[in-house]
Amino acid sequence: MDARPIGVFDSGMGGLTVLHECLVTMPHEDFVYLGDGARLPYGPRPLDEIRRFALEIGAYLEAQGVKMILVACNAATSAGLHELQEAANVPVVGVIVPEAHAAVQATRNRRVGLLATQATVDAGRYDELIHALDASVSLHAVACPRLVPLIEGDDPFGEETAEAVREYAAPLKAEDVDTVILGCTHYPIIRPILQRVFGRDVTLVFSADETAREVAETLARKGVENDTRREGRYRFLTTGSTETFRTTGARFLQLPIAEVEHVALAELEAVA
Active site residues: 73, 184
- Residues 6+ positions from 264 with CB-CB distance below 8 Å: 239
- Which amino acid is located at 161 in the chain? T
Half-sphere exposure of residue 201: CA atoms within 13 angstroms, side-chain side: 6
Peptide bond into 41 cis (omega under 30): yes
Q: φ, ψ for residue 171 (rounded to 5)?
A: -65, -30
